[in-house]
Amino acid sequence: MSVPTVVTRDAHPSVLNLIGQTPLVRLQPFERGLNGVELYAKLEWQNPGGSVKDRAAARMIADAEADGRLTRDRIILDATSGNTGIAYAMIGAACGYRVRVCLPSNASPERRRILAAYGAEVVLTSPLEGTDGAIREAQRLYAADPDRYFYPDQYNNPSNWRAHFDTTGPEIIQQTGGRLTHFVAGLGTTGTFVGVGRRLREWNPRVQLISMQPDRPFHGLEGLKHLETAMVPGIYDPTLADRNVHVATEEAYRMVRRLARAGVLAGISSGAALAACVMIARELRDAVIVTIFPDSADKYLHDRLWDEEDEPGQGEP
């Protein structure tokens, strides 16, 4: 007996068509004690690859296909802390491309398993060198055999920030009804902050743009860079932010646990983003702050942060 194929009007022709239009949620439990400040987060793990990096990876690949830099005989190669690599791997599996990523060996086991599940080849690099070591290894592999690879180079590829200029920024404006007054985002490749920031600045120059990064070189905030001591991405625009704040790993971990108790199972960089938002919000009155939650906690469930205990009252939103 054959089973008929049912196609609903909401069906998408490709998993890639599910990228974008992620929900914006209000974080009311974290607004207590604030002076009329509203906090919102864009849940980017609703993208099919599970993170905000789906947007940039899809745009970098699409632009390279359009101008002939990416052809079927080339392997997609790049350095990653995990999420962009997963996005490449998902897109590669969907579109028939081989993918090779250079990844620090201390990346979470969940990330490595997801990459393997999609069929990507992983080249592990020194954990002491972080993403900078992965970048150097990707550059070495590409230089040794440039005809074999398409090297998007996410840290220096303008398609990275343009993805957010064209999609994430307009979505935030629409979803807030144009009410936002402040935008907060972490710095990794810096593509999200630069792309959204430039779009918001073009739309309303009065919107305050706040960037966030770890407070020290050796930190536990996967995906984020301490720019003072790291290789600065070529797409980073140091003139864009109205303010830059630093967040401690321990505070980000505490916020991740608080989010979970509030029903939002968010990743570590999301906890850092919320910590930065609360820091800024305490100085404001009647503001609307929007941030990005890059991924969920499903890639960090092995982490020791879940074994730590907060002081009485700290675990409550």
Catalytic residue among 53, 225, 270, 296: 53
Which residues, in sequence order, are CB contacts of 35 under 8 Å at separation 6+? 284, 285, 286
The DSSP 8-state label assigned to residue 225 in this structure reads -
How far apart, in Å, are the Cα atoms of 246 and each of 96, 226, 240? 41, 9, 17
The span from the CA of 60 to the CA of 37, in Å, is: 36
Catalytic residue among 269, 270, 296, 299: 269
Which residues, in sequence order, are CB contacts of 240 under 8 Å at separation 6+? 193, 194, 197, 198, 201, 209, 211
What is the token pair recorded at 301? 């469930």
Which residues, in sequence order, are CB contacts of 163 under 8 Å at separation 6+? 55, 56, 58, 59, 60, 191, 195
Among this protein's residues, is 53 annotated catalytic? yes
Helices 268-281 and 249-261, packing angle to 10 deg = 100
The span from the CA of 165 to the CA of 150, in Å, is: 24
The span from the CA of 20 to the CA of 296, in Å, is: 16
Which single residue is written with the structure tokens 């439990």? 29
How far apart, in Å, are the Cα atoms of 123 and each of 74, 81, 129, 230, 277? 17, 12, 14, 21, 35
Among this protein's residues, is 269 annotated catalytic? yes
Report the candidate in 258, 238, 246, 235 with the shortest Cα–Cα distance to residue 305. Answer: 258
Residue by residue, DSSP assigns 91-121 as: HHHHHT--EEEEEETTS-HHHHHHHHHHT-E
The DSSP 8-state label assigned to residue 134 in this structure reads H
- Positions annotated as catalytic residues are 53, 269
